């Protein structure tokens, strides 16, 4: 698979200072694209994009997708939108559904409406495995979702509905990427809503026990960041008409339970600090809204996008562990 297929385009990346967004910028800004980053820094970090600030083909707009005029300004002259901006986290949405709805639904609507007004050809957006909700079916197949289990999941499902209707009504080409537990460099360990890998790694580096909610037998299909970046590139450049106005699972297609992964993290980090090998996880009650098992079928993405992820969770962790250790200490 070519690693440089998105070139010579003007690309808006919303949420570009976030974890996934900043990795997208790093990939595409060095492929002779002009990058516009729109971020309000609620969860994004300026240090994630500081390395791009002096590049002539990079522009930062500090603004909020909840403001339609900000969105209209950001899309001017743009060829492709990679919409990553969102207020993530199931627990945060349970605690504050109003803000989650305002950013993830009203903000999404502003960005796609501005894109239609600007005659942007293609709109790629981040959705989530959380839309599968209470579906017990494994692996998860795109056309079979259950009832959402959290406000966050509802917002992502609504994004998919809006993208579908905008494609049908206004002709904009949309592709939704249902991310499954993406991890890698530039992922923040801060706050109560941090993703599991950076949060666990930060605790282990500090010789503290990571907390597992439930019995640790819950399974996840983890997706290394490079897989997600390639998926965006394929979605932005595909000429397969069957792929347009579709949603795709973006994962590795392999399941791992949290107990196994926690002890693997301990093993990898022990190579940097032998004291970490002595640490054991703590177990607490399950959290409301959490999904017990998650495994993606990636057959649709393979067939229509030519998506063939290179990194499983083990290879991804091996590649990322040095960055985590150096940056989370």
Distance, in Å, from the CA atom of 249 to the CA atom of 222, rounded to the nearest integer, reads 12
Q: Per-residue DSSP letters for 14-67?
A: ETTTSHHHHHHHHHHHTTT-EEEEEE--SS--GGGTGGGTT-TTEEEEE--TTS
How many Å apart are CA 113 and CA 157, to the nearest integer? Answer: 18
Q: Helix or strand or coil: residue 134?
A: coil
Annotated active-site residue in 152, 268, 307, 325: 152
Beta bridge partners of 10: 34
The span from the CA of 132 to the CA of 234, in Å, is 23
Whether 193 sits among the annotated catalytic residues: the reply is: no
Give me the residue label for tokens 């106005």.
Answer: 245
> Could you tell me the CA-to-CA distances from 200 to 102, 148, 182, 188, 324 in Å, in that order?
30, 27, 15, 11, 11
The token pair at 234 is: 């394929």
Tell me the DSSP string of 176-218.
Answer: EEEE-SEE-TT----STT--HHHHHHHHHHTT-PPEEESSS--
d(CA 137, CA 149): 15
- 3-state helix, strand and coil shares in percent for the chain, rounded to the nearest 5: 45, 15, 40
Which positions are annotated as active-site residues?
152
């Amino acid at each position: 698979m070519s690693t440089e297929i998105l070139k010579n385009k003007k690309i808006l990346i919303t949420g570009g200072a976030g974890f996934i967004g900043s990795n997208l910028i790093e990939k595409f800004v060095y492929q002779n694209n002009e990058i516009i980053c729109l971020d309000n820094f609620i969860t994004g970090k300026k240090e994630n994009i500081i390395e791009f600030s002096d590049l002539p083909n990079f522009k930062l707009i500090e603004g909020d997708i909840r403001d339609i005029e900000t969105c209209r300004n950001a899309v001017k002259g743009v060829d492709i939108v990679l919409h990553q901006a969102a207020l993530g986290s199931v627990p945060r949405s349970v605690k504050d559904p109003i803000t989650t709805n305002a950013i993830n639904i009203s903000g999404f609507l502003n960005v796609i409406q501005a894109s239609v007004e600007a005659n942007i050809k293609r709109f790629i957006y981040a959705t989530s495995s959380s839309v599968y909700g209470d579906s017990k079916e494994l692996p998860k197949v795109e056309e079979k979702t259950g009832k959402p289990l959290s406000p966050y999941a509802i917002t992502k499902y609504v994004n998919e509905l809006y993208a579908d209707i905008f494609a049908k009504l206004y002709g904009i080409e949309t592709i939704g990427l249902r991310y499954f537990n993406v991890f890698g460099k530039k992922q923040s360990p801060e706050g109560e809503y941090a993703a599991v890998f950076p949060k666990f790694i930060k605790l282990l580096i500090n010789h503290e026990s990571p907390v597992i909610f439930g019995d640790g037998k819950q399974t996840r299909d983890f997706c290394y960041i490079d897989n997600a970046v390639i998926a965006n590139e394929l979605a932005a450049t595909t000429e397969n008409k069957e792929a347009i106005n579709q949603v795709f699972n973006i994962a590795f297609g392999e399941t791992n339970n949290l107990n196994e992964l926690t002890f693997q993290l301990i093993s990898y980090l022990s190579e940097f600090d032998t004291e970490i090998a002595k640490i054991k996880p703590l177990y607490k009650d399950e959290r409301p809204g959490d999904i017990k098992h998650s495994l993606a079928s990636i057959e649709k993405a393979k067939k229509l996008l030519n998506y063939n992820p290179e990194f499983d969770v083990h290879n991804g962790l091996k590649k990322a562990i040095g960055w985590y250790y150096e940056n989370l200490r």
